[in-house]
Amino acid sequence: MSHDIYPDHPPPSKEVLREWCVSNGVFAESGLEICSMGSEVGERGEGAEGVENGWKVVAKRDLKAGELLCSIPKSALLSTRSSSLPPLPMTQPPLVPDQHSSLLHLALCVLHEFRLEAESRWYGYLQSLPREPLGLGLPVFWGEQLHLDGEGKAEQEGEGEDGDGDGREGRKWLVGTEAGRDLKRKEKDGMGMSALTSFYTTHSSHLPATPSHPSPSPLSSFLHAYSLVCTRAFLIDLYHTIALVPFCDLFNHTSTPHTSLLSDDYVCYLCGSLKTCSHDVINNDGVSWRLSHLGDWERRRVEHEVDTVDMRVERRVGNGEEVWNSYGEGLGDGRLLVEWGFIGEEFVGDGLIWDLEDLGLGIAKEEGEEEWEDMLDQLGEGWNERNRKMDNDTNPDVDDNDSDDSDDFDDDHETLLCRQSRSNPHLLNLDQSGRISINLFAVFWRHNSRSTSSSPKAESEHGNLFAALEIEDKTPSPSAEITEIIESIEELEETWHEIQARSLLIEDLTEANDLGHESDDTATHERSTDSKEATMTVRPQIVDVAKRIRKLLQDRLRGMYKSDLTQEQLFNLRDTLRSQDKYQRVAMTLSINERGLIISAMGKWDEWLAEYGASVESA
């Protein structure tokens, strides 16, 4: 599948971009250099073996915190407000300006500017953007063989860019992974391939003919423009909403960035003015309501300075180091791959996630979601309360409000369970340290107690069928339930801690034996047997829940592509991929990493169940 963006134009040029920046008032610190990723020389598309490398920003000298990296006047931003594409006609139903429709609209504007070629105000910038691979390798396009012209008519079918099936195979490896979940969610939320196709089919006729593009552009051109917008646009302010920001979009992502984008967002939403404008309502002090939250000094600044988007050094950058931005906090590889087409293997974010309906408990998404969320909110409160108490007991002098972050259990990565995610307290996840969230434990625990506490009453004397089916509700009150859950979690962790301590003791004794310190085998045996006798007992319900969790992990693993292969076999398989199988390589890496996390978590639950798993049968 090929697009019609800049056919027969020279490759992207840093020099042309630099000249465009200068003539559009863009300031870029002279101590920054745009380099090719993976090699220090060459323009786009000139990497080794013709592989597109992408660009990055590198510091040519030490950069101190506070230094200005770049400053772009808002007049240079490319947004739906600034583009020369005429406003979209009212659609039926109207295009609600949510984030996705804003991306689609901006993509149409970008395609229009591409079609203007050198006539566009942004040509010097747009020519610098990647032109390959089509759709920038975002998984939503992997393996797509869709060919439509600008009017939505099928073009000639043929082998696309990844006609050898790299994309199709790559998609298979995403099944069951976080990226696979994200792709499904996007499709469901109307952000998949079919929604993109239908948007362009509806709106392509709105693109004016240009001297270089008298006919409509193929769908592939729109998809490419859309990918550029998705991977490069920033949220700016109330007027532009999202926009492409020349130069700022050259910084790559890491979870420990040096810089971030700064923009005053409280502009007039009608004309974009930051300084007081004719649309403003003035308060009794003669100040626009819009700017009334600012102090005197700040107000003077906005009234007199050019409105810009800036990036400053927030963490020192050494000479020769790449300067990193962050595309969002806690972005895991699944999300990075789906939204930006790469993985960072930094193992940050919330790990693997389940929805309520994925838990095999027969809970539909809409069914009682609020009730479950209420329970999780109460659990969160109960958990924080417990932490405060624990901290007070161990450290009576510490301020109560500081206690949340300093809890030993929550920060101990060797535990079976982890606290609620900071990004979403309702999340049901397996964290990056292989710990199941207390939420998942609580959902299984509650489901278990509901199904065991509701037992049909014995048939009445008169054989009344309705009376026989009446359910006796022994459900505990919500607060009693949360207390029970927290006590169960503590019980689970204490027993896990005991197992860990015992294996450490055995390891120590074996090591000591190997070194000949305590050569008496009988003594070793006696001590390890002693410690075994210290085993605690647990409530059967905890065992039930542990078994559910173990099964949940196993099911997730089994839902992955080629789930019967061992990690070693997968590594070997990945090693045999051809250099051009880049989608398969990245998808396999993601899948292997997620499998590793599940396997290590399963190992812990197996160890615990080996000790306590039988007690439920005897209960």
| By the rule CB under 6 A, 496 interacts with ligand SAM | no
Q: Are 316 and 514 in contact (CB under 8 A)?
A: no
- Rounded least distance, CB 583 to ligand SAM, Å: 13
Report, in Å, the least distance between residue 338 CB and ligand SAM.
Answer: 11
Quote the least distance from Cβ 343 to ligand SAM, whole Å.
8
CB of 582 to ligand SAM, least distance (A): 12
Of the candidate residues 14, 18, 168, 253, the single one contacting ligand SAM (CB under 6 A): 253
Q: In terms of CB distance, is 130 or 180 closer to ligand SAM?
A: 130
Q: How far is the CB of 604 from ligand SAM (least distance, A)?
A: 31
Whichever of 252 and 415 has its CB closer to ligand SAM, that residue is 252
Both structure tokens of 30: 């002279």
Binding mask 317-346 for ligand SAM (x = CB under 6 A): -----------------------xxx-x--
Beta bridge partners of 78: 244
Q: Is 449 a residue that touches ligand SAM (CB under 6 A)?
A: no
Q: How many CA atoms lie within 13 A of 270 on its CB side?
A: 7
H or E segment and range at residue 182: helix 178-188
Residues 6+ apart with CB under 8 A from 45: 11, 12, 52, 131, 132
Is 344 or 540 the residue whose CB approaches ligand SAM more closely?
A: 344
Q: Which is nearer to ligand SAM, 54 or 73 (CB)?
A: 54
Smallest distance, ligand SAM to C-beta of residue 43, A: 11
* Alpha-carbon span 494 to 612, nearest angstrom: 12
Q: Closest CB to ligand SAM among 336 and 442?
A: 336
Q: Does 266 bind ligand SAM (CB under 6 A)?
A: no
Smallest gap from Cβ 169 to ligand SAM, in A, equals 20
Residue 78 sits in the site that holds ligand SAM (CB under 6 A) = no
- When binding is defined by CB under 6 A, the residue of 35, 250, 302, 323 that contacts ligand SAM is 250
Which two tokens mark 219? 């769908």
The nearest distance, CB 289 to ligand SAM, in angstroms, is: 35
Read off φ and ψ for residue 346, nearest 5 degrees: -95, -10
In degrees, rounded to 5, the angle at the alpha carbon of residue 357 between the alpha carbons of residues 476 and 583 is 145
Q: Quick one: CA torsion of 387, 389, 392, 395, rounded to 10 degrees?
A: -40
Cβ contact 512:473 at 8 Å: no
Least distance CB 245 / ligand SAM (angstroms) = 9
27 contributes a contact to ligand SAM by CB under 6 A: no
Q: Decide: is 249 part of the binding site for ligand SAM (CB under 6 A).
A: yes
253/574 with CB nearer ligand SAM: 253
Selected range binding ligand SAM among 48-56, 351-359, 568-576, 611-619, rule: CB under 6 A:
48-56
* Strand 252-253 to 324-325 pairing: parallel
Chain centroid to CA 618? 43
Contact status: 231 vs ligand SAM (CB under 6 A): yes
Site size with ligand SAM, rule: CB under 6 A: 16
Nearer to ligand SAM, 220 or 231 (CB): 231
CB of 571 to ligand SAM, least distance (A): 21
The encoded tokens of residue 134 equal 């089509």
Assess contact for 505 and 531: CB atoms under 8 A.
Answer: yes
How many degrees, rounded to 5, is the angle at CA 73 between CA 71 and CA 75? 160
Query: Considering only 250-258, 295-303, 371-379, 456-464, which stretch makes contact with ligand SAM by CB under 6 A?
Result: 250-258
The least CB distance from residue 584 to ligand SAM, in Å, is 17
Rounded CA gap, 89 and 358, in Å? Answer: 41
Residue 543 near residue 130, CB atoms below 8 Å? no
- Of residues 98-157, those binding ligand SAM (CB under 6 A): 130, 136
Q: In angstroms, what is the C-alpha Rg of the chain? A: 30
The H or E element containing residue 73 is strand 68-73
**What element of type H or E holds 197?**
helix 193-203
Q: What DSSP element (H or E) covers 28?
A: strand 27-28
- Distance between CA 330 and CA 6 in Å, rounded? 36
Q: Which residues bind ligand SAM (CB under 6 A)?
A: 54-56, 130, 136, 231-232, 249-250, 252-254, 340-342, 344
